[in-house]
Each structure stands twice: as structure tokens, then as C-alpha cells.
Chain A
Amino acid sequence: MTSTPQRFFWPRLIGLALWLVLLTLLSLWMGAQVPRWLPVSASSAAPLVDGLFGFETAVATFVFVGVVSVMVWVMLFNRAEKYDISDAEPIEGNTTLEIIWTVIPLVLVMGIAAYTIQVNREIGLIGPMDHSHAPASSAAGASVPGGEVQVIARQWSWEFRYPVAGVSSTELHMPIDRRLGLQLESKDVIHGFYVPAFRLKQQVIPGRSITLFITPTREGRYRLRDSEYSGTWFAANQADVVVESEEAYQDWLRRASRLPLQPGLSEASREYAQQLSGERGSGYATIAPAPPPLVNVPGSNTLPHDG
């Protein structure tokens, strides 16, 4: 390195500068690809999360490709000749370089952290990071202090109650462009309330009642998945979320309140019944699924969903 003749200095510097420009362009391009990898963005929090992730993807690309290009360079151009057993030039360190590559990453990660705290605040203003740490005191059907919808997680079904309208369902309906509070409760183990299209996730913890505020921004049918391992039928514990206009939402509530109660959706109960009747094989012992909740609207969890 230090033996590089002076006449190679400028070509090398120009080469390095060109490579950095290319790397930057590549990183920016990768950051712009992010929306293609994520589900549709359907809540007010989603664009903020996606923006942050795009920024991080660009930084990550720069770092990763930068490191790998050094590795590729040395593997191509710093190989020992076949019978060369001599050592390379002994450079044992350089304090200036050490300071540079301590300070730059430090500034970089603290910058990302500051940006993220800012995003946290923005999402926090919208609401979804709000928590209640008081144990659940409201009995079923009582007024819901934090939210309009009561979400009850069980092994293995999701039940959504609208106490004001007197409606219950195994399909979550939400009005678009309005901040809706969801009161999350679990009847047995920890579950996870996760709607990828909303980019939001919250553990549902037995003995606690946690309010999650969501503002849906796009009409459509989305998947709600249980994101915290909850036992045998964890994977089948999915429900659909329908985001619709305020009028359609109110209309749905009105029609639903007139429907008689019937068993809601529970894929776990269906499979368990098949096992009991011998239609389906079984494995180790399992907790039996809770009976499907009795609801006005079972809805669907098999229709095509947008995300």
C-alpha cells in the first residue's frame, strides 16, 4: 500500500470516488424497492414504518455492499502467489483510522435512533403505542373504557365485540380514516394481535387490558394473525379485518345487531372435531380448543385478502 508509486494515486482516488457514487446510487435504489417487499400499507402508522425501513435498507445496503466489496477486492487482488510463503507488510494499526471508524458508526446509529424516536413520537401521537397496565376490570359486555371494540383472544379464535351497537363477530370491521380504540384481552395464554397491512403488533396478555389505537387508511380485507405462539393451533388462529367506509361500517353494525347468535369461526375447533371423529390423524396430547364464540356474524377467513 505505502509502496504504491505516486503515479497510481490519482487513478485510485478517482476509482474509489466512482465506486462510492455507484454504491450510493445502488443503496438509494434498494431503499426505493422497499414498498415491493411489504404488504399494502393500510394504516396511518404504515407509511412512517415503511419510510424508516426504506431509509434503513439504504444504509444497510451501503454498509453491507461496502464491506463485501472490500472482501471481494482482497480475494481477487491480495492473493498469495502459489509458492510465496513470505509475510505481507506488517501494519499493526492506525489510531486515526480507529477513531474514524468508531465515530462515524456512532454518529450513524445515533442518527438512526433519533430518527426512530421521532417516528415513535409520531406514531405515538396517532395512538397505537398507548398502554393500559391496569388489570382487566370490565366484565364481558360492560362498557369499554379505552376503545370502541373489545378484542378477545382465545385458544384458538378471535372474537370482536362492539358493546355500544350490541354486536359480536369473528371478523373485525373497522371504519376508514377514523382512529379506533381496540381493547385487547386474552382469556387464556399470551396471544399477539398482528395485522401486517397495519404494521402493528401487540401482545395480548391475560390479566391485562391493553388499548391499541389504529387509524385504517385503505379500504379492503386484511389478515389478522396471532403473532405470539399460543399452542397447538397457533398457526390457524387467523381472522380477517375489513376496512370500509363509515357508512358501510354503520350499516354493517345495524344489520349485524339484528342477526341471531351462532357459532363463530374457529379453524381449531373444526380440526379438533375432525380428529375426534377419526377423519384426521392426531399427534401428542393437546389442550382442547375453546368452543367457538357465539356471535352475530361469523364472517369469513377464507376470502382473498389484500395483505
Chain B
Amino acid sequence: MTSTAGVDSRILKAPHPVPGAPDNWKRFFSFNTDAKVIGIQYIVTALLFLLVGGLLAMIMRGELITPEADLVDRTVYNGLYTMHGTIMLFLFIFPVLNGLNNLLIPCMIGAPDMAFPKLNAAAFWMVPVFGVILMASFLVPGGPASSGWWSYPPVSLQNPLGHLINGEALWILAVALSGISSIMGAVNFVTTILRMRAPGMTLGRMPIFCWTALSAQTIQLIGLPALTGGAVMLLFDLAVGTSFYRPEGGGDPVLYQHFFWFYSHPAVYVIILPVFGVFSELFPVYARKPLFGYPFVAGASLVIVGLSLIVWVHHMFPSGVPQWMRDVFMVTTMLIAVPTGIKVFAWLATLWGGKLRLNTAMLFALGGLFNFVFAGVTGIMLATVPVDIHVNNTYFVVGHFHYVIYGAATMGVYAAIYHWFPKFTGHMYYEGLGKLHFLLTFVGTNLNFFPMHPLGLMGMPRRVSSYDPEFAFWNVIASLGAFLLGVSIIPFLLNLVSSWVRGPKSPANPWNAIGLEWLLPSPPPAENFEEHVPTVISGPYGYGTGRPLVEHQDEIERALLQA
């Protein structure tokens, strides 16, 4: 590994260590300001927490494989499900998507780095900090927070031991830090996209991934202050005895639900929009066709942002809201199906008549789309008030959002990791292991999360540590699916590690894809194009049109081949 032969000369000349430079693994453990290092730091940290969150989930499914509460104590189960949700959202899915943002945004728009590199590194390093705080809550007297990731008062304000430092307080602190980190990241991503695009790259020529990242990060900037404000009031109620939400002091517990969902519903779009971006990038590459209706797909993201901010009460239909409010929020929720539908139909039209290559990345994208459409149709059911009143807070909802967050979002993230792995590590991954990972993930996801729908329809509430015997059959299937999902991680990690260490060297553009990132060497040098930023002369996804993307494209491609 000490040989420098075959390493791009610009990598060796870089002023600070960059991915691909030999013997420079230490850069990943430092306060490095290179977006490509930070991207990998985010992704690796997130994958470690995926293992932690997944382990907690498997203990939960072990408990739920029988009706009685027999594997762990009920208090422990409640702590497990709370921490599972919190870890998966704040320490897996948000960080992993920020990792993709860091890797992809500067390269895709031809920027040398993010707009504020130090802010970027600071935002990342907060993740391990609040990760440690959250993990430490397992060790404090009284155990971790155990009131669910919603942390609804008054139950979240009950502090059995009366200590000032308790699991719930650490949980609120961790979530607040996560919010600050996300806001810092969002400022950076939005500024970078708006201010640092290559010459000629108008918004109308920007890759869809950047459109979706811009949309998602805008939601972060608008929504997070509401959650943070709500969480600070919760902390005051918990620690210093205020009564914002305490009914006995004249507070209103339902007020918290509004603060919480005003951000936490749009948060779902923060998660799914970049995954829509991944689908929009991958389908054209592997179908060898332009993205169908680019302007509509880009615009639909903005419509989704607007609508996502006015649907939050659909989480509160049984909370005691008046009938008119139920009707209004049902209609807005329904409307989101329209821009989402535009995207789904655009992807189908992109695939139609294409020349499909079903490698691992494409299989994950197709599998993710399959699961997303399933989650979409159950989402419409949940939007309609009377059906929601029946299945709200049952396993039907748990099934629905796991299809979104695991079935669609996490599979989309896997697709992205495989697709851009050669670009940022300089090595190809192994297709065999990748396809095994896909097969186990796809089967495991459906085995785990489909049975939750019939369970919810039958009336099994979510968050239970024991249940009536009539629910046993589907729970056994779900638990088997969960264990299969646990197994599915093994070929994935094996593939990542072994490919990075000794996978075949990747050319600059292994998929024959169109985009600025594919006009960089694999891995790209520290400052990407440095002072030679190409001028963009056409829109993205010109597959089959023969249109060059940038000026002097032939010369750039020739230089890459010779390097």
C-alpha cells in the first residue's frame, strides 16, 4: 500500500491528505475540512450507528417473537424502542444523507469544496459528540429515555428517580445538538448550491440530486427551529419545573405535539427527497436514457417542500383536534401524492424502452422504488381520517414508515453507496457480494415490515412490550425478517471493506455516466477541478443525445484516460 505508482499526481501534491492517497487513513480521524473526507466520516459513523440501532431492533424483535414480556423487562423494552428510533433517525439516516451531500454536491456542481469548510467539519464532529451522549444515557441511573422518539409530555416528564442528570435530559440534549449540527450543515449545503456552481450550470442544468438536497435542506432551515424551541421548553419543564406542557400547572401537552410534528413530519421529506435525487440520478445511467421530464421532476421537489410544511396535524387526528382541522390537513396530505406521483411516473417513463443494466446499484434503486410505491399507497390510506383513526398508533403505521425509511430511503442510500463507491474510493465493489446484499435486504425488508400491516389492521398498538395471542403469527414472521435484515449487513460490510482495501482500481467513469463528478479522477483530488472548472453547456442526463455536457469534453476525457 505504500507504493505511489498509479496514484493521481495531484493527490500526492495535495497540501493535506485526501482520499486515495496512500497511508493516509489517519485523515479520517482528524478535524479535516475536505468535504470528501467529511462525507466518508459521516457515512462510516452513520453505518456504525446503523449496527447499534439494528442490534437494538433485533433485541426488540426477539422480545416480540412471543406474546408475553419475557426476554427483557418492560422498562428495558421501552428504552430499547426509544433508542432504536432516535439512533436510526438522528445518528444513521440524517448523517448518512449528509455524508452523500458532502461527497456529491461539490463534485456535481464543480465546486472545490463546501462554502464553509470549517463549519462543515464542526457540524460533522458534533455527531460523534451527541452520539456518545446518547449512548452514555444507557449508563445513568434510571436508564435511557423511554418515552419514544416523540417524547410526548407528560409521560416524558416523569422522572422516577428525580435526578437532574437522567436519560430523558441527555436525550433532549442530544437531540438539540443534532438539530444545531443539522442547521449548520443546511446553511452550508444551501449556500454551496446557490453560490458555487460551475460556469454555465444554471439552476435549470443542475443535477436532480442537488435540487432535492436544496429542497431538503431548506426544510431543515424552516422546520428545525420549531422542534428546537419545543425541545427547550420540554427541558425546562423537566429540569426546572416550568409548566409549558404540564396540565396541572395550566400547560397544554397537545402544544408539544404541534411543535414536534411541525418539524418531524417535514423531516420525513428531508430523508426521502435526497433519495428521490438518487433514483433520478441512477435510473438514467442504468437505463441509458435521459431523465423523463427533468423540469417537472425538479419543480416537484419544491412543491413537496411547500406542502410538507402544512400537513403535520395528520399525526394528531386522534389528539383532540376539531373536525375542520382534520379535513383541512387530510386534503393537504393528499395533495402531496401529486408531486410525488409526477416523480414516480417520470422514473417509470425513464425506464420504459431503456437498455437496463441490473447491477447492484440499479437493483437497490429498483427495489427502493418498489417499496416506496407500497409505502405511498398505504400513506394515502393513513391520510384519510376515519381509516387513520382506526390504525393510528398501531403497527400499520410502523409498517408504513419502515417501508419509507428502510425499504425506500435506506435501500436508496445503499444504491447511492454502490453507485458512487468507485468514484470516491477509487476501487470497484464486488458485484456478487452486492447482489447477495440486495437479495437479503429486499426479502428481509418485506418479511419484516409487511406483516406489520395486517397486525395494525387487527388492532395491535405500536410500542407494546407484550400483546394478545391473536397477534403471534405475523409477529413471528416479522421477527424472522428482522433477523434476516441483520444478516444482510454482513455481505455489505464485507464488500465495503474488502473492495476498498483490495478491489480492482476504478476508472474515472466506470458506469459511462454523464455528470461533472464523472469528469474527475477516481478518487477526485482535494480541490476537485481546482482552477480548471469546466464550463457547462447543456442540461444533465443527455444519454443518447450526443450532446456534450461541458466545453472541451473530449480533451478532459482523454486526459483522464491517460492519467
Contact = CB atoms under 8 A, between A and B. Distances in A.
Interface of A: 1, 37-39, 45, 48-49, 52-53, 56-57, 59-61, 63-64, 67-68, 70-71, 74-75, 78-81, 84-94, 97-98, 101-102, 105-106, 109-110, 112-113, 116-117, 119-120, 123-124, 129, 131, 133, 188-190, 192, 194, 196-197, 199-203, 205-208, 210, 223, 225-236, 238, 271, 281-287, 305, 307
Contacts of B461: 192, 194, 225-227, 235
Interface string B495-517: 00000000000000000100000
B326 interface: yes
A113 B334 contact: yes
B355 A79 contact: yes
Of the candidates B144, B293, B335, the one having the most CB atoms from chain A within 10 angstroms of its own CB is: B293
B442 to A, nearest CB: 13
B280 interface: no
Contact of B323 (A37, A81, A129, A188): A129
Contacts of B345: 97, 101
Given A116-B386, A196-B390, A283 B323 contact: no
Given A93-B296, A229-B152, A235-B465, A201 B389 contact: yes
A234 B323 contact: no
A86 B253 contact: no
Contact of A206 (B78, B247, B341): B247
Contacts of B487: none
B75 interface: yes
B196 interface: no
A81 to B, nearest CB: 8
A87 B288 contact: yes
Contacts of B74: 232-233, 235-236, 271, 283, 286
B318 A70 contact: no
Contacts, number: 298
B322 interface: yes
A161 B146 CA distance: 31
A88 B380 contact: no
B354 A78 contact: yes
B79 interface: yes
B380 A68 contact: no
Contact of A202 (B320, B373, B468): B320
Given A74-B353, A192-B393, A205-B319, 20 more contacts: A37-B457, A53-B390, A61-B377, A74-B351, A79-B355, A87-B288, A88-B287, A92-B291, A92-B545, A110-B334, A189-B158, A197-B459, A206-B253, A225-B459, A231-B78, A234-B463, A238-B468, A283-B73, A284-B144, A285-B141
Contacts of A226: 461
Contacts of A84: 355
10 contacts: A37-B457, A88-B353, A93-B295, A112-B334, A129-B326, A190-B154, A192-B318, A205-B254, A232-B78, A282-B73
Interface residues of B, number: 99
A176 B1 CA distance: 80
B394 interface: yes
A75 B290 contact: no
Interface in B216-257: 247-248, 252-254
Interface in B349-397: 349, 351-358, 366, 369-370, 373-374, 376-378, 380-381, 384-387, 389-390, 392-394
A207 B248 contact: yes
Contacts of A229: 147-148, 152, 155, 393, 462-463
Nearest to A196: B459
B459 A91 contact: no
Contact of A45 (B293, B366, B380, B386): B386
A88 B334 contact: no
Given A70-B352, A201-B392, A98 B296 contact: yes
Contact of A75 (B295, B330, B356): B356
B142 A49 contact: no
Q: Which 7 A-B pairs have the closest CB atoms?
A: A196-B459, A207-B247, A283-B73, A284-B143, A87-B544, A60-B377, A235-B464
Contacts of A80: 288, 355-357
Contacts of B338: 102, 105-106, 109
Interface string B328-346: 0011001101100110110
